[in-house]
Amino acid sequence: MTHLYLGLLLFSFLTTSILVVPFINLLYRLKFQRQKQKTLDFQNKRTPIFDKFHSQKSGTPVGGGLLIIVSVSILFAILFPLLKFSKIFISSNYQINKELEVIFFTFISFGLLGLYDDVYKFFDFKKTKFFGLKLGYKLALQLLLATFISILIYFRLGTNFIYIPFLGPISLGLFFIPVSITIIVAFANFFNITDGLDGLSCGLLMIALFAFWFLSNNSLDTPISLFLALWLGALIAFLYFNIFPARIWLGDVGSLSFGATFAVIAILLGKIVPLIIVGSPFIIEGMSSAIQILGKKYLKRKIFPAAPIHLTLQQLGWEEPKIVSRAWLAGIILAIFGLWLGLN
C-alpha cells in the first residue's frame, strides 16, 4: 500500500498546487488580508517587539488553511470509495465510518471556528478593541468541540487507553475524556501560537505528519494513512508559498483545525507519548506564551523579552529564516525520536 499512498500524496500535491495561486488571487479580491494588530496581549496593550518585526507583513492574504481543508476533504471523499470499489485491502483499528466521523468532524469544525475568527478580525476589526474573538469565547467553543469529539472517541470508538512505550497500553476509563479534551484544545492553541513566522508551523507540521504517517502504516489503519497522505500533499504545496517571504498565511481557519486534528490522529493511534515528543516545538511555543501571560498577571513583569519564544529569538538578533530552519532541524530529530518511541 505504501506505493499507493505515495502516489496519492503526489496527486494531492499537484491538485493543491494548481489551485493555490488562483486561491491567493481570490483572497486579494475579497480583501481577506492580514491587518495591522493594535491590541495583541491579554491586557489589550501594544506589543512593540511584534510590530517591529512583523508590521511589514500586513496585507498578506490569510486563509490558506481553508484551501487545504476543502481540497483534502473532497479528494478523500472521491478517492476512498474508489479504493473500496477497487477491492484494495482496507484495514482499520475502528469501525471505518465512525473513525472518519471523528477525523473529519475535527478537521472541519475547528476550521469553521477559525474561519469565523478570521472573518471577525478582518471585517469587524475597526469596530472592536479585540483582535478577533475574545479569548474566553474562543476557548469555550474549543472546549465544547473537544468535549464532543472526546465523547465520540470514548463511546463510539470504544477508546479509553494510551500506549506507553516499553510498558504497553494503559486504560484510563472515564478519565480518558478530560485527558483527550486537554490534549485537543492545547494543540489547537499551541499550533495557532506557533503560526507566527513564515513557514514555521507548516514546516514543523509536515515533519510531524510524516512521522505519524509511518506510525499509521505500521498500525495498518488505512483511513488515517490515506488522510495523512492527502493532507501532506496539500500541505507541501501550500508550504511552497508560505516560506519566507510568505505569499499566503494559514489563518486561524488552518491553525486551529490542524493543531486539533494532529492531536486527534495521535489519540486515535494511541500515540500520546510520541505526540508530546514530536509536537514539543508547538508545546514550547505555546507554553512560552502562557508563562509570559502568567508572569505579567501575577508577577507584574515579563518572563521573556517577548512571547512566543520565536519573538524572543528575533529580539536577540536571529533572522526569521534562521529561526525557522533551525526549528525544522529540531523537528526532524524530535520526529525521529518520537517515531522510535512509537514503534516500541
pLDDT category of residue 35 using cuts at 50, 70 and 90 = low
pLDDT tops 90 at residue 220: no
Percent above pLDDT 70 for the chain: 90
Name the average pLDDT for the chain: 90
Q: Which three cell numbers stand for residue 207?
A: 515533519
Q: What is the pTM of this model?
A: 0.92
Mean pLDDT, residues 241-252 taken together: 94
Q: Give the 3-state secondary structure of residue 33.
A: strand
Q: Which three cell numbers stand for residue 213?
A: 504517517
Q: Are 212 and 278 contacting, i.e. CB atoms less than 8 angstroms apart?
A: yes
Helices and strands, counts by H and E, the chain: 13, 2
**pLDDT digit string, tens, across residues 259-318:** 999 999 999 999 999 999 999 999 999 999 999 999 998 888 999 988 899 999 999 999
Q: Are 159 and 272 contacting, i.e. CB atoms less than 8 angstroms apart?
A: no
The pLDDT score that the predictor gives to residue 52 is: 62
Q: Which three cell numbers stand for residue 212?
A: 505519524
The pLDDT score that the predictor gives to residue 271 is: 94
Phi-psi region of 290 (alpha: psi -120 to 50; beta: other; left: phi over 0): alpha
Q: Which of 328, 293, 46, 20 lies closest to 197 in space, CA to CA?
A: 328
Tell me the domain boundaries of the chain.
2-272
pLDDT category of residue 129 using cuts at 50, 70 and 90 = very low
Beta bridge partners of 39: none
Q: Which three cell numbers stand for residue 27?
A: 483572497
**pLDDT digit string, tens, across residues 277-286:** 999 999 999 9
